[in-house]
Every structure is written in C-alpha cells, then in structure tokens.
Structure 1
Amino acid sequence: MKRYPSIPRADAASALFERGHLWIQEKIDGWGVRFQLQESGVIRVGDRERVYEAGELPARYQHLIRHLRENLDREALRAAVGDVESVVFFGEATVKRTIDYEWRRTPSFLGYDIWETNEERFLPPDAVEKVYERLGLNPVNTVQKEVRAVDFDPDAYEIPESNWYDGPAAGVVIRNKTGERAELTHPNVEATTDVKPVEGPAEEVATELATDRRFRTVATAVEARNRAVTVDTLYDRVFEDIVREEHDRLFHDAADFDEGAFRSELAALASEFVAERSN
C-alpha cells in the first residue's frame, strides 16, 4: 500500500510559494492513517510505517475502523473505479494526542489525500474533497482555497481556530494542485504538554473512565442505529471511546496501565449496566 510522503515545514519549502495557487487546510492533531478497500470488501488499514493484518490493529485505531465500516460507501467506490485496490486513502484518525477535540462531533476519520495507483498520482485537493463526500466520509476542512502563492507569507500567517474544538488548530497544511505540500504548526501544539497518566489498579481506572454517563451515551447511539444494546456491543464501543479520548493518558510512557485487566473490568461494568437497564 502506498506510503504517504513526509511533509516539510514551510521554511524548507520555498518553491511552493513561488507560483500557482494554494489550498490551506487544517492540520489535525491525530494519528496518520491510510486505508484501502480490498476486492473482498475488507478494509485494510495501515499507519505511516506498516500495514496491519486482521487482529493486529492497535487499540487507537479501533474507533476508526468501526467508523469506516459503518460509513464508507463501498458501492459508490466500486462504481467509480474499476479496481478498488488501486486507490489508497490518507487521513487522520482523530485520537487524543495533545488537543482535546469535541469528540462527539469530530469524525473518527478526516481525509486529506487520495492516491491513484494506476495513474501514479495524488488527486488535486478539490477532487479529494468531492470524493470523500461522495463516499460518505469527511475531508479535512479547508481554511482557504485558491490563494495566490506569491501573496502568501508563511512567516506572517496566523494559525486559525480549529473546526473541531474551541481553540487554535494544530497548524495548517499548505498544498497546491501538483502535489507540493508544506506545513505550519502552532507553537502551543509543538510544546510538550503535561499529561497525567492513569494510575492505580485496573478496577479504579475502569471506574474512573467507564462512567454511567458514558455507558448511557453509547447505549443511546447504538439504539439510534436500530441495534440491540448487548454486553458485547456496549463493551466494544465504550472501550473504543475511552481509548480514543484518553489515549495520551492510557498509553503514556509513565502510565501504569494493564490493558488486559482493564478490559476485564470494563466487561464486568458493561454487564452490570445492561443487567440494571433491563430491570
């Protein structure tokens, strides 16, 4: 599967600002991801370094894969291209790193590029937006379109507000239609933030994070899709939500986090919630 090229900082990409027109898009503070629909209908997912086989997907991508399975319009993709495996999609899995996004309204995936293997090219940004929308997925939001490159001064540019929480964006990615790119990062996002890693036994961590409110919110979302709220369904989705929103604390280098024990405690809490709800 195609790997995404590294994006230089704006001060190392002077050629980008010499000609043509630029698209300026919000830089998302997530985990870079790529995916491909296989002929079998299975969605194959990778990060910047490797492609994962079934059963290998890290916890941070489990919310993402559910989102793709439930929202990707496979038939629209098959109708658009002769070989679905010739297309590779790139974007961000919105998982907590530094910025605490408004998770309930922030999509699990925000796409920023599409690679066509047969033509060996990335689609231009206007086409990327249209394709993602046609397939039922969200593209990253564009701050400005068709800005004259010679009029853009990266040294004077102010990072805009984020589309996904009340605060500044992590930065912006500046690109043209020929595939050249550069990025500007907000200084507050570059700085190391204080993270309070989880502490204590798995039972305490599960009780802290798997609140009754979270269970009720997830149960309501499941029912809204006309699905039964079973222990397994609730457990899976609550675990995915917790990892997505608390990834920095759970998987911090200093975190005292036993994932296996946490899963066991979470399963017990899910069982209790379903039992009480059915009474």
Structure 2
Amino acid sequence: MRKHTVSIIVSDLETHPGLPRLLQSVSRQSEGLDRAEIVVAGNGGHDPSSETLWRAVTGLDAVRLETFEPGVTPSRARNLAAAKSIGDRLVFLRPDHRLDPKYLTTADAVFADHPETDVMYADYIRLAPGRSQSPGPAMIQLPPFRDGLLQARGFLGPGVLITRQAFERTEGFRDNTFYRDWDLWVQTAQAGGNFYHVGYPLTSCEHRKVSFRERAEDGRCKAMLVINNQAFFPDHTVRWALAYLRGDAWAEAFGFMTIPGPMDVTRMLHDHAMKTMGTDTLAEEAIRQFDKAVINSTTLL
C-alpha cells in the first residue's frame, strides 16, 4: 500500500509563544513522523536560528521556516506554504493548537478504510488559558457532516486534514473574509468533497478571545463567504448577503458566526415590513389600551 505524506503547515506571522508546544505535540506522534514535514509560515519576524531550535525541540529534521514578505496576509501565507510543501495531505494549524499522539495513525486508518475521504475532521478539547475569564476546559463533540450544518456554521474545529487533490480543486484560502477556514471547507463541499468525522478528540486548542474588530466585521465576513460560494447556499441566504453588503435596512448581521437560513431571512423581511407599516407600533398601542381597560374595570369593581 502506498505510504502517504503529510505536510503540517503552521501560520506563525506574529511569532506566537505557543509554537514550541505545538511542535512537541507533533513530535510525540505514535508513528508516521517519517512521512511528515512541518512548515512554519512566517513574515520575517523569526530569528535565523529558529529552524535549529525547532529541530532540537522536536528531534526532527523535517522542520523548516518559509519566510514571506512582511505584509503577507494569513490566507496568502497558508497558500504559499502549501505550494512549497511536499505532502499529499495537508493540515493547517495555529501555534496554539496541539495534536493528539494518535493523530497521524488515525488519519492513516481513516483513509485506508474510507479511501473516498477528502477531508477528515475530529472532536477536540477546548482549553482555557490561565487566569482567564473564558469558558472552562471542555471536550467539543462535533456532528456528522451535512451541507446544511456548514451553510449555517463553520463547525469543523481545529486540525482539519485535507488531501492535496481536494485542496487544489479550490481557490485556497481567501483574503476577503475572516472566516478563511470555513470558506475553504465550503469550497471543498461545493466541489463535491467527502467529509469524514472522527468521534474522538484528536486536537486541542485554547479558547481565543474574540476581538472587537471580529465582532464588528462578523456580518460583512459572513456575507462575503456566501457571495464567494453562491451555488452552495439557498437563494434566500444569497439575497440576504447581497442586501447586507448593500446596506439594506432589513438585512441584519444575525447571530455571531452564524449565517441565516431561508426561514431566518423570511423572518427578517417580515419584521422589517411590519415596522415599515407601523404594525409593531399599533400592536404596542393595542396592548397598552387593553392593559388600561383591565385596570379601569378592576377599579370599578
């Protein structure tokens, strides 16, 4: 049987202090390291001796730094690193991610038993940073794949593995949305990719605080994700995305990191129409009049 190679691509544009721990978790794989490489994508912030240090930390020679221009975006850095990698399977990680020792062996078993698989994703452990107000540690159990779930949320979690063949059927990571991973999985599904869920936590990651900018840009980034992949989404959802980007009054941002479905869009349109006609004001006035009548009748008694 052919032995597949895995390229573990880590975007480290801000030289995250957790990178050595991620590299250690990779080095502790029970087997498969002889067919793996680690590619760290940087933008000039790493010391020239970093590669030597990382090799010492992991005990592996197949660790290298790919340095791109200072202004490179996270999406472009990942795409360039993928192009320079050699694996026929790709894993894109952040420095705060960790791999379970059975990650690579589980991947081998999944693809051996289900050779049609294009994307493997697994349950994961959410870690709370020290002295943090974030939710506590928890195991996050993910559902089996359905297009409908991906249309609503980017639920796949960290440590997703994709075959190079499937990756090359997409446009790669895009710059016009914060939700670059979600966008890539939608592209893959739209191209007919097969997703396989492993019901075991193969990765862990820190609970990352959401920035003010991410919350402020949530609606626009979701709308851009829909516009990028219009054929994957229901017509009503595409209508919402176009309206949101135009600034139409009825198109709300909706729940954080959640894309509205057809019923949600219909509800938005209905509520806006009621407000425009003043129906909501009339209903409130009717309630006030009813309450007043009840009070007066009680007084008379």
- In our comparison, the structure showing a higher alpha carbon Rg is 2
TM range (shorter): under 0.3
- Structure ranking higher in helix proportion: 2
Q: Which protein, 1 or 2, shows the higher relative CO under an 8 Å CA cutoff with sep ≥ 6?
A: 1
